[in-house]
Structure 1
Amino acid sequence: IVSRDAYNQSHYKKTKPKKPTAEQKKVIDHLISSFDNKDLTPCLIRGVTGSGKTEVFLQVIDYIIAKGKSAIVLVPEISLTPQMTERFVGRFGGLVSVLHSGLSLGERYDEWQKILNGSVKVVVGARSAVFAPFDNLGIIIIDEEHEGTYKSEISPYYHVREIAIQRSKNEGALVVLSSATPLITTYCKAESGKYKLFEMENRYNFSDMPAVEIVDMRRELELGNKTVFGNKLLAELEINIKNGEQAILFHNRRGFNSFVMCRSCGTVLTCDNCSISLTYHKYHGRLKCHYCGFERDNATQCPSCNSPYIRYMGMGTEKIEEDIIKLFGEDSFIRMDGDTTSGKNSHEIILRKFERENIPILLGTQMVTKGLDFPNVTLVGVILADLALNTDDYRAAERTFSQLIQVCGRAGRGDLLGRAVIQTYQPEHYALRLAKEHNYIEFYQHEIAIRKQLFFPPYCDIVMLLMQGEDENSIIKELVAIATKLKGKCHAMLGPVAAPYARIKNKYRWRILLKCRDTNKLLPFLQTILQEHSNSENNLTIDINPNSMN
């Protein structure tokens, strides 16, 4: 019998428990006491980046394993699995199993069998690992609980937190939520007493939080700087490279240019299957749709007016890569985004290379913003903070604040002080100002007041009914009929209207949005609507508090 291992244990050094700080000890003692006393009240740990939350997990799990129980540790995406695996295998050796979508079917089968036969006691993995089939579960830990990837965007629509709490009730396991920037809805539950709240305000080594400077890119343009690097960020990168230290550059858009436009008639080149602009990928010389995978050759003239005046607008990580090469050379960086991490174990290979070869710059999308712990990273640069801020979603400010806090927290986690440079065209925005101050509490108070005034979660649930199909008129007719039935059954209703992405994969998309005070009362009616339209030529889905409104 051949067993396929998801990791090579010999790659990881054995570690011993560290002496906990007073803040860590308080949390450890409470969780152990809750476990012993079967107190299943979920716990929220709000700990600043670098406060040692992972060490808390390790010591509590060590106790739980000694009592004959098992543990599930969840991370929001595959890119975080290698470092978390290293920490847990270093402490628990072969008792650790890894589960995520990057494994082959055979590897996943073998990991599943290890869990079933009891040869492992800890599972580290992404969203689906919450279903790991332990029959003696003692604790479920959801790290970086604020991340949207914990919500499934395909049927069945579930949130890891809800599954974890239900397993807790069924199996008597503790549930621990952890983040430097908890969701507004989660922190509200902790404030109301539904969750037990712990605050860890200091880094483990008691070093200062990174000093953050906000750069107004409007001023840079006035001074004649039209590059993606403001003078401050460029100067800090030069200092870092000179000192042999490392930097992380964050830009949440892959590709070379965001879209391609004709300067003569204004036509934007869009996907044949979707109402979405194509992204230019210079490395392959292709225009690509990031939603359906459609590709075409790069345009040399406008398809509408035949003009040769084609303009490439916006920028992605490929474009920034080109600028880095011009400034610092080809060996100065490594890139980590959706285009460079499609291969097996690519996340681990890139991160290991960055650390072991002391490569000066790690350039990437959102996957470099969280969970990474490199002692020699002393500088973080945010190329453009405005990308997430200007989306049509009530959580835009929350997501921007969280992203900035998380990525800035990658700097200064070792003995060297950290610093961060945030480039923006909206330096006065409260999300940026409070991120600079690392002030979660004031941000929460500001944001929760807005949510209450505008009646957004946590004061209501948002229910999205999305219908997709090839005949747009048929979709509209069905949704109008549904909207008629829904009148008076919720606090507010918007629609039917075309979704922001009105067509994807040759399917038209229309939606109805509901604001509901008590969704549980509406669930039977929504179930009836689903059943009534189950045989329709159009596909109807209903999602409560969807991660994306698109």
Structure 2
Amino acid sequence: MSAAKATSGNLFADDPAFQVTAQTISVLPPLPLAGPYDYLVPEGLSVAPGDFVEIPLGRQTQRGVVWGQAKGDVESSKLREIYGVLPTEPMADVTRRFVDWVSAYTMAPQGAVLRMAMSVPDALEAPKPIFRFTLNRDFDAASLRMTPPRKRVLEFLGTHPPMEQGDILRETGAGASVVKGLVEAGAVQRLMVTPPSPFDLPDLSIPRPDLSDEQTEAADALCARVEEGSFSCTLLDGITGSGKTEVYFEPIRAALAQGKQVVVLLPEIALSAQWLQRFRDRFGVEPALWHSEVGQARRRDTWRAVADGSARLVVGARSALFLPYHDLGLIVVDEEHEHAFKQEDGVIYHARDMAVTRAHLGGIPVVLASATPSLETLANVEAGRYQRVELGNRHGVAVLPSVEIIDIRSDKPERNRWITPTLKKRLVETFANGEQAMLFLNRRGYAPLTLCRACGHRFQCPNCTAWLVEHRAWGKLQCHHCGYQAKAPDTCPECGAEGKLAPCGPGVERLFEEAVETFPDIRIEVATSDNIMGPKAATELVRRVHNHEVDLLIGTQILAKGYHFPMLTLVGVVDADLGLAGGDLRAAERSYQLLTQVAGRAGRGDRPGTVILQTADPANRVIKAIAAGDRDAFNEVELSQRMTHGMPPHGRLAALIISGKKENEVDEAAWRIGRVAPRGDGLMVLGPAPAPLSLLRGRYRRRFLIRADKGVKMQALIHDWLSKVKTPGSVRIQVDIDPYSFM
């Protein structure tokens, strides 16, 4: 059990806004509970809001945060005492208010949101002390029996500051028993010191790189927001290759110069090797990284350093937003349009929107950067809620690539081939010029579907409503939703036919096979989340491409993540229609953003670039907008259509997902919920209906979709709706406010 803060004085005497009687408080544990519980404070123990405490909860010992005054719904005589206060920095008031806000907005339990801010339980323990040894200069060495090892240790410590034992042993060649004997004799003192922060301070004296006039103007505008020291939200709207990163490094520097902390959110931090190198070049240090690839010990150290303020700059995935910042001064959301910022499980939230809220609660600026801003962000700019800083030119001599459309209905690939004759010709020319090319196909594996040509059997996941994807390199069929795997069979399990199993459609592995046969003398690299799974793999990929050890890159959307390859001059999008079909509200917007980002990889150096889009629908407005380079026209049409149908950003959406292991229970619960669905002006409830993925990870799923006018209080409406229905504990109801996925 942790030691308590045994300090005297009145409870909460330093916080006039937080007065209690009978020394009772409310404590919120990081569990999916509706709210905090009341506890008594033992006599003589001082507790303040935000303190991390140990509490009895049922038969277990749990940890939580002092949240506020006791609610008073339980008599004091029935309350249990907290065990003690944990030796870590209290959670700041703004972080607690942020937890409350996110909980209310997402309709997730407060404790479930708090768990994201308390994601490293070990960090709440006192860090292990470090012991260093120094010479006791008041000791009379004449009374000591001297040996050569003792003499070496004493002479070494006499000319050096306090040192750790390992350093002393390494420098003197003495054994640990020698140091121990000198300490027992009194000749050497053992000092206990607090472990230093694992993060160095950024070097703000490094001169910034040369910026263009346009970049300088944008950077000065963003720095002015930092100097104002109040809430603002600014869209840094710059075309691909315009140098947005170097621009927003300037307000980061300004915030660091004020002694503030900064967090930068990246959609795929584990794959951002080039970005991290640019950061190191600009600030001379490694940032504190926060993502799923970071080990537990490093996460513990990072959490503590963020809480005590010694980690000045954090770079991370969406969860980095919930770290307990000591004094946050700036938030940057890079590639703010990315759908990776939407968390679909647990507490369902969009990190971009929560970043704006966190900045508002803390009274600090937030910068949203993108070459293809989301329609929600653009609507906020047009409404005057957000400001905008624009970069309309590529940095240096680079220019935007030209875009060509290939109609695959007339310029047909060979049978069971996917590269058209025109694209093949351009690839040959590119390689002949000593340049690099990229083929983009947003589909992992060898083929998205395998069927039997004898009986028509299709291989489907037993746990999900999804086809199994063939990964020929592994000899397996895999579900990309739940991870289920099966050995690729030789015969059809339905009819037993041999040699009749056929792959349908291409994945990147099949495209790689075609490229190897077509271009046997070039060096080809495949890049997907299957083989580029962390910082080391991403760094190695960047190194090989930069050193021109790769002629052709074949990959999925991870290649759209801001990579800068100066010799890459040709990008071929093998299937530009992929993602355009279906009933997804954001299908067109998402496809436009992805294809624009992919196209932006071409021609980023001093050689012009070309982008080729292979499509069976050249008249599609997404394809036409990319070819014309007319983002504003595309956004105008998309926003107009959203307005006509009252869809975001001109209306509000929410989804209810009812799921369970037993289909009949799920259907029964969905029917009951549907019977009492709300009705009214400016409101439409669709469902219940089977979700497109009606079986996911072994759970049957039914959905409601609620569309409402912007003035409707969606959370209150859903809360009142669900309060009228009782469902069995085996059925789960998830609420998704502002859904981005409709699967």
TM-score range (shorter-chain normalised) is over 0.9
The correspondence for 2:731, drawn from 535, 538, 542, is: 538
The correspondence for 1:508, drawn from 689, 700, 710, is: 700
TM superposition shift of 1:445: 0.6
Fraction of identical pairs, as percent: 34
TM superposition shift of 1:162: 2.5
Secondary structure of residue in 1 paired with 2:410: helix
The correspondence for 1:423, drawn from 602, 605, 614, is: 614
CA–CA separation in structure 1 for the residues paired with 2:368 and 2:674 = 37
Deviates further, 463-472 or 197-206: 197-206
1:380 maps onto 2:547 in alignment:
no
TM superposition shift of 1:506: 1.8
CA–CA separation in structure 1 for the residues paired with 2:271 and 2:196 = 21
What is aligned with 2:350?
159
1:475 maps onto 2:663 in alignment:
no
1:246 maps onto 2:439 in alignment:
no
TM superposition shift of 1:7: 11
Alignment of 1:92-103 (within 5 A): 92-94=283-285, 96-103=287-294
The correspondence for 2:425, drawn from 201, 217, 235, is: 235
Question: 1:491-548, CA deviations, whole angstroms, 9 ceiling, x for partnerless residues?
Answer: 1111100010111222111111110224762313423556665752111101012221
In structure 2, the CA distance between the partners of 1:549 and 1:93, relative to structure 1 (3 Å rule), is same
1:441 maps onto 2:632 in alignment:
yes
Which amino acid in 2 is paired with 1:500? P
CA–CA separation in structure 1 for the residues paired with 2:326 and 2:257 = 16
Q: Which has the higher contact order (CA 8 A, sep 6+)?
A: 1
Question: 1:440-471, CA deviations, whole angstroms, 9 ceiling, x for partnerless residues?
Answer: 11111111111111221111121110011122
Secondary structure of residue in 1 paired with 2:490: coil
CA–CA separation in structure 1 for the residues paired with 2:230 and 2:302 = 30
What is aligned with 2:468?
278
In structure 2, the CA distance between the partners of 1:199 and 1:344, relative to structure 1 (3 Å rule), is closer
What is aligned with 2:452?
262
1:547 maps onto 2:740 in alignment:
yes
Secondary structure of residue in 2 paired with 1:86: helix
Unaligned runs of 5+ in 1: none
In structure 2, the CA distance between the partners of 1:447 and 1:6, relative to structure 1 (3 Å rule), is farther
Question: 1:476-500, CA deviations, whole angstroms, 9 ceiling, x for partnerless residues?
Answer: 2211221222230561111100010
CA–CA separation in structure 2 for the residues paired with 1:50 and 1:190 = 22
What is aligned with 1:307?
497
Contact 2:270 2:291 in 1 (8 A): no
What is aligned with 1:141?
332
Contact 1:168 1:175 in 2 (8 A): yes
Deviates further, 279-288 or 526-535: 526-535
TM-score, structure 2 length as denominator? 0.70
Judging by fraction of residues, say which structure has more helix: 1
Which is higher, the Rg of structure 1 or of structure 2?
A: 2
The correspondence for 1:495, drawn from 687, 700, 716, is: 687
The correspondence for 1:401, drawn from 592, 596, 614, is: 592
What is aligned with 1:350?
541
What is aligned with 2:134?
none
Q: Number of aligned residue pairs: give it.
A: 545
Which amino acid in 1 is paired with 2:265? L
TM superposition shift of 1:8: 13
What is aligned with 1:517?
709
CA–CA separation in structure 2 for the residues paired with 1:84 and 1:4 = 27
In structure 2, the CA distance between the partners of 1:95 and 1:320, relative to structure 1 (3 Å rule), is closer
TM superposition shift of 1:148: 0.5
Alignment of 1:110-259 (within 5 A): 110-221=301-412, 226-259=416-449
In structure 2, the CA distance between the partners of 1:80 and 1:343, relative to structure 1 (3 Å rule), is closer
TM-score, structure 1 length as denominator? 0.93
Deviates further, 110-119 or 497-506: 110-119
CA–CA separation in structure 2 for the residues paired with 1:343 and 1:444 = 34
Contact 2:565 2:604 in 1 (8 A): yes
Deviates further, 443-452 or 337-346: 337-346
CA–CA separation in structure 2 for the residues paired with 1:237 and 1:110 = 48
CA–CA separation in structure 2 for the residues paired with 1:476 and 1:338 = 36
Which amino acid in 1 is paired with 2:517? K
TM superposition shift of 1:357: 4.3
Secondary structure of residue in 2 paired with 1:350: helix
Secondary structure of residue in 2 paired with 1:50: coil
Contact 1:389 1:396 in 2 (8 A): yes
Contact 1:220 1:226 in 2 (8 A): no
TM superposition shift of 1:117: 3.8
TM superposition shift of 1:283: 0.9
